[in-house]
A and B are shown apart, each in its own frame.
Chain A
Amino acid sequence: MKSSIKNDPKPLRDIAYYKQRYRNRVFAKLVSFITEQAEKHRLTQKDIAERVGKDPALISRLLSAPSNLTLDTISELLLALDAEAEPPEIVQFKDRRPPNHIHPLMARVPPTDDGPKVVRSFDPRFNIDIQASAEIG
């Protein structure tokens, strides 16, 4: 008998979602640390680029939006700030704590009339994603 766990391919949507989510998480953590260090030591992107030995334009691009950063790049950026990353924490879905918010794309449930209305949009002029919701409070 065929094992469903072993043979069922994961939906492409899930694969794409988790890839992007991991990129976003790593990016957020990295930018947050670099921002903190840059503020603390009054560093510019040019300073960081010189420490890494790369073109300032590349550093600017890396820090402007989440991308598929290589482990080597992350290591180089952190080393430039006298830091390193610990190995990522791996968690099985069944062991995760229940979230207090589930992205509707993953929850796969239609929004109800009871909860706050959520509107998502993208503004190409500023290249920003906007998620807005409102409620009586």
Chain B
Amino acid sequence: MQPFNVMALFCKDIYEEEDGGYTLVRVLRNAVNLPGKAPGALPKLIIYIRINFIPTFDLGEAKARMVMPSGETIPLWTFDAGWVRNAQESAQASGSPLAGVLSRIIIGGFQPPSSGTVSVEVEIKGETYLAGALTFVPEESSG
């Protein structure tokens, strides 16, 4: 069993609740149809990234980035090793079977590509893992 997993969800909004939890609003499917060329930018695109790992596993530093269809990358967040260790110790202290770190990314004025996939990758111990992907499908080929 892999000692960790990474996940990224794309959604349209996120609310921070009083108890410290989050409410994700309109989580997008893996493929989004673009109706012709209307409209332009998304006012807001949220990426919710979560890494769960077994508390006895030394995850180390984890770097999250967004990869555009052109191949260009946008750094999103670096979970530094010391901080990940805090999550590990916190989970061990509470007896939780999983430790976790999460990041909320709020992107304003996102211009969707005319087609192609925007993905979120997380680099752990020199290996790259795909955490999530959002494919934009032009109307003509969406069927």
Contacts and interface: CB of A to CB of B under 8 A. Distances in A.
Given A64-B111, A137-B50, A45 B38 contact: yes
A95 interface: no
Interface in B9-65: 15-18, 33, 35-41, 43-44, 50
Interface residues of B, number: 39
A48 B38 contact: yes
B4 interface: no
A60 B114 CA distance: 14
A137 B102 contact: yes
Given A24-B43, A65-B41, A100-B15, A134 B103 contact: yes
Contact of A126 (B39, B79, B111): B111
Nearest to A32: B43
Interface stretch (A3-11, A36-44, A86-94, A104-112): A36-44
A133 B96 CA distance: 23
B68 A38 contact: no
Contacts of B105: 130-132
A2 interface: no
A32 B43 CA distance: 8
B101 interface: yes
A39 B76 contact: no
B128 interface: no
A128 B107 contact: yes
B interface, by DSSP: helix, strand, loop or mixed? strand
For chain A, which range describes its interface: under 10, 10 to 19, 20 to 34, or 35 or more residues? 35 or more
B37 A45 contact: yes
Nearest to B51: A137
B34 to A, nearest CB: 9
B132 interface: no
A130 B87 CA distance: 25
A132 B43 contact: no
Contacts of B108: 128-131
Nearest to A99: B16
Given A131-B106, A132-B103, A42 B111 contact: no
Contacts of B50: 137
Contacts of B99: 136
Nearest to B104: A133
A34 B50 CA distance: 32
Contact of B101 (A66, A131, A136): A136
Contacts of A125: 72
B110 interface: yes
Interface in A22-50: 24, 27-28, 31-32, 34-35, 38-39, 42-48
